[in-house]
Structure formats: C-alpha cells, structure tokens
Structure 1
Amino acid sequence: MKATIFAAVALALSAASASYAAEPVNSGEGYQGDISFVSTKTRAEVKAETIAALKRGEIAYGESYPFNQPPQAQRTRAEVRAELAIAKQAGELRNEQ
C-alpha cells in the first residue's frame, strides 16, 4: 500500500517537473528591441553632454534625489501685488475661513 502511494506521488512529481521544464524560461533570448533606431550623436558627444550636465548640477544622483532647482518666476512680485489689488477692487476675492 505504501509502495503504491509512494509510486503515485513520485509519478505525479516527475510529471509536474517535466511539464514545468518544458515551459520556456523568460531569459531574454529572442528579444531584439528596437533595431530601427539610428543615433544622430556619437558616443563622445553623449559623454560630453552628460559631463556638462553633471557640472551644471542638472543630473541628480545618490542622496540628492529629488532634484531641487529653484523655480523660475514668470512675473515679478510687484506685478503679483498689482494684480491682487485689482482683484480686491473688483470684488473677485472671497474671505472664507
């Protein structure tokens, strides 16, 4: 009885492992990627651009992420204050608390 159960279990395990081994493994074989891309820059040009960007502080690395760059104001403080005064006069502001 034990021998029959053992044989059945062994047969089931061998059948399962054989079917598992027959499945292709996703090893990347056959992957070609986008082979239609043609670079317009040489390797040296890309390296030079990367070094220049590092020197300007435009590339974050290590503990410096996220990259902090001061925001570029599109209007001066005086322009914003003038716009606020106009909005107040026109009654466009609500005082909600």
Structure 2
Amino acid sequence: MTERVDVETVRFVGERAGFRVYLGESTDDGYCILLTGPDGTDGRVGCGGGGGGAVYNELQVEQDAFRSAADGVSPGEDWEAISENVYYREVPVETPTDD
C-alpha cells in the first residue's frame, strides 16, 4: 500500500459500513481512499488521478462504495458525505431474473 500512498498525508475521515475511512495523496498525483476494518486490519486502497477537479476515484467493496471528489464538486446522486471530500453509498445487488 505504501508504494501507492504518501503515508504522511493520510488522514482519518470517518466510519461507514464497518470500515474506518482515510484519505491521502497518491504518489502519482491524485488521491487515495484507504479502508480498514474497525480493528485496523483488512486494508484496501483505491487511488485515482487529479484529472481536472471532478471525481477523483471510487473504491467498492461488495455493496459498499466510497468516492472522493474535489472541494465543491458533487460526487453524483445518492452519495452520503463522510467528510468534505469523501462520500459513501450502498450499491444495490442485482439479482438475476428468469426471463
């Protein structure tokens, strides 16, 4: 994880869906969302580029999606703010239909 994230920039932003959520700068120019379980284990990271000041990246774990966006930029519909720049929403599970 540390090769993708500048660890000195990582900050805790909140908790959702059983995850502790962090935001940090990537080592490549952009931002990373980092997730851990409540006890600090089971780490996951998703990084995205700075790309013009809109939505930076999204990280999805099963039905839980996390997204980061620039200051003042809407993350899109149905996203709940965890912090000023990090958002959460539950992704519905599609069930197969018998057609």
Query: TM-score under structure 1 normalisation?
Result: 0.23
Asked which structure has the greater CA Rg, the reply is 1
- Structure with a larger share of its residues in helix: 1
Q: Which has the higher contact order (CA 8 A, sep 6+)?
A: 2
